[in-house]
Amino acid sequence: MSLSRNNIYKYFYLSGLFLLLIILSLILNDNFNLGSFRIFPNMEVAGLVFISAYLDIYAGWFIVYALFYIYGAMTPLNPAVFGLTGTVAYAASYVIWRRIPYDNAITEILITFIASLIYYCVLFFVVFYGFGIHFIYWNFLIYYAFPASVSTSVISPAVFFLFKKAGYKNFLNKNKLIYL
């Protein structure tokens, strides 16, 4: 399939909307947290789940890696770490979407919760074991990963609605029932 000029513009619009989610998430997490208990969603993970639902594997992988690399550049860690965690969460979400034959809000919430937990667990293992930054892992799971995953999964139908309202569901074709 060759990319037409219209499809290239749609990929750029999709990336721009995803970058807006990244910036909004960073602003919310930096300015409105409750001490060490973070309740604000990681909206770019919800966007990642949307991309995995409606985009093919190669284009989705490339977009997710590039956007999470940009997201990592806005944080104090190595940007490649966020690129890795984003692509692992994308792969898990992609496989789960292909196993489920229907698309509704409950499915979006469940898949986003799983992808978000995978994202935070991979990020934790890379930072804890790879970089040697030691901290209490139960505090990370209880006070950060789990609440952020719950809030991300709860907000995911709104993120899906935003992408669908922008017309990306018609542009991105979901492959029905591809079993790996």
Read off the pLDDT of each residue in 61-79 and give the average, rounded to a whole number: 86
pLDDT interval class at 174 (50, 70, 90): very low
- pLDDT grade, residue 88 (50/70/90)? very high
- On whether the CB atoms of residues 121 and 97 are closer than 8 A, the answer is no
Residue whose token pair is 């409750």? 34
Amino acid at 142: I
Tell me the whole-structure pTM to 2 decimals: 0.80
Q: What is the mean pLDDT of the chain?
A: 79
**Residue 108 neighbours by CB under 8 Å, 6+ apart:** 49, 156, 157, 160
Distance of alpha carbon 127 from alpha carbon 77, whole angstroms: 9
pLDDT of residue 95: 93
- Tens-digit pLDDT profile for residues 93-115: 999 998 987 778 899 999 999 99
Is residue 43 packed enough to be buried (19+ CB in 10 Å), middle (13-18) or exposed (0-12)? buried
Tens of pLDDT along 151-170? 889 989 988 888 877 766 55
Number of Cβ within 10 Å of residue 96's Cβ equals 18
